[in-house]
Structure 1
Amino acid sequence: MADLANCAHCGRLFAKAYRPVCNACYNEEEKQYEVVYKFIKKKANREASLLEVSEATGVSEKTISRFVKEGRIRASQFPNLTYECEHCGKGIQDGRMCDSCNSKLRKELYTHDELTQKQQVKERITYYTEK
């Protein structure tokens, strides 16, 4: 059964089943997607940047970025369509963070894990009993 919720875009009350937006906003997004896709699928526009696509179509950069993040627009086919790394803001085409931020995070997690293990070894107390 669907829950009642407010639309994330317009704030209207709707029965939330599969999407966080009402049908009217969903249909509007689909129209925007069609406009963007028709623009970038033309051979002359395949090298366009996110800003250029936004200016030419009237669709916000945020919405176009979301289409790329969701995989609706394949960034591999359109090399200049990038969105920002969530950590440093560098342009990326896949995932949530760029390779350098991702490797930095992995290194920090590995270091933290090693320190935690060393701390646990230090805190172990052994009790001996005499016979």
Structure 2
Amino acid sequence: MDISNCPSCNSLFVMTKFRDVCDACHKEEEANYDKVYAYIRKKINRTASMMQVVNDTGVEEMLIIKFVKTGKLRISQFPNLGIPCEKCGTPIKSGRLCGNCSDSLRTDLQEFEDEERRKAFGNEKKNTYYMKDDQKG
């Protein structure tokens, strides 16, 4: 049992794996979810962008992103909603990084691994010792 401060209102509450906010804030989040879901369920609003949903419902973008990340809202049903890439902010449909940032990270990691291998291989050569044979028999 973890006691924590609510990130929204700073009151103490018992944190569970299902809730990361206090009961009062959870109820408010649920009301906001209902508002967003009712809005985007309407056929005319299914292609609304994130900013349109924020402006028309008054619900904060970060809360809508939370709904998407936790699976409460499925982006597959709403083609113009997206969550921002955690590196560059480009809207994406799933995951944490866009394709470009993911590829860049993969390339950087590969270069780092290659450099570490070169350093390790270079160190092996440096640690090779030769002994001079002074005793000729």
How far is the alpha carbon of 1:83 from its aligned partner? 2.2
Scaled by the length of structure 2, the TM-score of the pair is 0.86
In the alignment, does 2:78 pair up with 1:75? no
Q: Tell me, yes or no, if the aligned pair for 1:54 and 1:60 is still in contact at 8 Å.
A: yes
The structure whose Rg is larger is 2
Match of 2:87 in 1: 87
Match of 1:96 in 2: 96
Match of 1:126 in 2: 128
1:54-75 deviation line (CA, Å, top 9, x unaligned): 1111111111112112221111
**Uncovered stretches (5+) of structure 1, i.e. residues with no partner:** none
AA of the residue aligned to 2:63? T
Identity of paired residues, percent? 43
1:31-79 deviation line (CA, Å, top 9, x unaligned): 1111111111111110000111111111111111121122211111111
Scaled by the length of structure 1, the TM-score of the pair is 0.90
Alignment coverage as a number of residue pairs: 130
How far is the alpha carbon of 1:20 from its aligned partner? 2.2
Alignment RMSD: 1.7
Match of 2:4 in 1: 5
Distance 1:70 1:21 in 2: 14
Q: Tell me, yes or no, if the aligned pair for 1:54 and 1:61 is still in contact at 8 Å.
A: yes
Distance 2:88 2:14 in 1: 37
How far is the alpha carbon of 1:129 from its aligned partner? 7.1
- Runs of 4+ in structure 1 off by over 4 angstroms are 127-130
